[in-house]
Amino acid sequence: MLKEFAISSSMLIIAILCGTVSAEKSQIGQIYPDFPDINAPKLIVGENFGDDVEVWQYSPQQEGGKVGEPLPDTPPEGSQRCNIRDRENQVIVADVSGDIVWVKNADGFSKPYLINIAKPYWISDEKVKQGDVVHIYGFGLRFRILLWQIILCLSQMRE
């Protein structure tokens, strides 16, 4: 009788552990292409997409002076559900045109992913004085659309 109890308890523990491992929100790792000039579906790479996945997008209205505001955890009012062309557990091909993207599965929304932004990868100097020239290389640094602004934020260094 003790042996049967030990076996049934072990099976119950294994069943509980296996059931909780698969329950996770989706995670977006990267979206490509990550710029607005390409009128083509976006490739979303991440984890835990599954069959019940939805892709949501939002394009906020320009309201000057709100740099550094945190992104919303869930799609706000005015967000749109995107057409999904294909999906796998780690890859989604979807028609995305918004600036903020979420992936939703049965466990909820992923963290927001911001696209169409400048991504500097290399800056020539760590410290500069006023009037010095700084070279910055990366993606999204071109000024093509009149509504866009590239803002370089400086921080005061402690000495």
Please tell me the total count of domains within the chain.
Answer: 1
* pLDDT tens per residue, range 44-67: 999 999 888 999 999 887 655 455
- Residue 142 or residue 123, greater confidence: 123
Nearest to 91 by CA among 43, 27, 22, 54: 43
**Domain with 31 in it:** 24-114
Q: Say how far residue 83 (Cα) sits from the centre of its chain.
A: 17
- Tens-digit pLDDT profile for residues 15-49: 445 444 456 899 999 998 876 656 789 999 999 99
pLDDT of 19 reads: 44
Higher-confidence residue: 151 or 121? 121
What pTM value is reported for the model? 0.66
Whether residue 30 is contained in a domain is answered as yes
Q: Please report, for the domain that includes residue 53, its CATH number.
A: 2.60.40.10
Burial 25-52 (b: 16+ CB within 10 A, else e): bbebeebeebeeeeeebbbbebebbbee
Assess if residue 98 is contained within a domain. Answer: yes
